Amino acid sequence: MNLSLNFSTCPNDTFMFYALVHGLLTDKYTFDVHMADIEDLNLLALEAKPDITKVSYGAYPLIAEHYQLLDSGSALGKGVGPLLISTESIPFEQVKHKRIALPGEHTTAHLLFNLVFPDVHDKRFYLFSEIEDAILNNEVDAGVIIHESRFTYQFKGLTKLMDLGDEWEKMSGLPTPLGGIAIRRSLPDNIKHDINRLLKESVEYAFQYPENTMGFVSQFAQELSTEVMRNHISLYVNDFSITLGQVGRKAIIQLISSSKPAYNFDERSVFVYE
């Protein structure tokens, strides 16, 4: 059976999906792979185009009618949150008056920023890799960075104002959910469970044989040093990426409910898990 599969070019995704898309786990399924920036993936999911896709948890409420979330493949944890940065210190009470760059309207970074700073009106959306330069070029006063920018902003003379994940963890007492893997609701249950199992095996393979994945990882992260790639993977791929468990599912339900408080997200309806 052939399925369309979308995921990002970021090291954590290429690391996790390596074994699955290279046919190391099964010949029952083949995949038409499309790789893109996370906000581009969110927009394709909003059109309900792929069978399986990486998606920001901030976007999930908008696609919940057509997709469920797999138990495996998530980026979720403590100390992993998007960072609010600038060239200089800005008092938090002044942030609402500033021009803020964000990495996509439907990203979890935008959702977390809104939870902490609900009164900001001048928000400007950029490709995540362009935000540091937007700050340095005075197009904006501050910006929220994700992915590998977390490891490079200091070398450009930029300063961290806040880890938005830390604020979420203080508010909720739960780890910070960033993104996960969504699968089309209309697929038969046995196929959804198969894909969840195979993705779990793919993550476990990557942990067991990390060196086997690095050629694929570096192919799509050509501008990153080996150290940054490894740090990126170490930060965003963890035990929650193998299985969310009760804590992971609770964190995701609480986060997505914060963006749609009137909607009752039922765990059994949202997730595909054993």
Q: Give the catalytic positions in this structure.
A: 147
Phi and psi at residue 145, to the nearest 5°: -110, 150
Tell me if 178 sits within 8 A of 255, measured CB to CB.
Answer: no
Angular region, 23: left φ>0, alpha ψ -120 to 50, beta rest: left
Residue 180 amino acid letter:
G
Distance CA(16)–CA(13), nearest Å, equals 5
Which CA distances in Å does 116 have to 93, 120, 152, 209, 234?
A: 11, 10, 24, 39, 26
Both structure tokens of 164 = 């938005």
Question: To which residue do tokens 């609770």 refer?
Answer: 250
User: 51: how many CB neighbours lie within 10 A of its CB?
Assistant: 21
> What CA–CA distance (Å, rounded) separates 183 from 109?
22
Burial of 88-106, coded b for 16+ CB within 10 Å and e otherwise, reads: eebeeeebeebbbbbbbeb
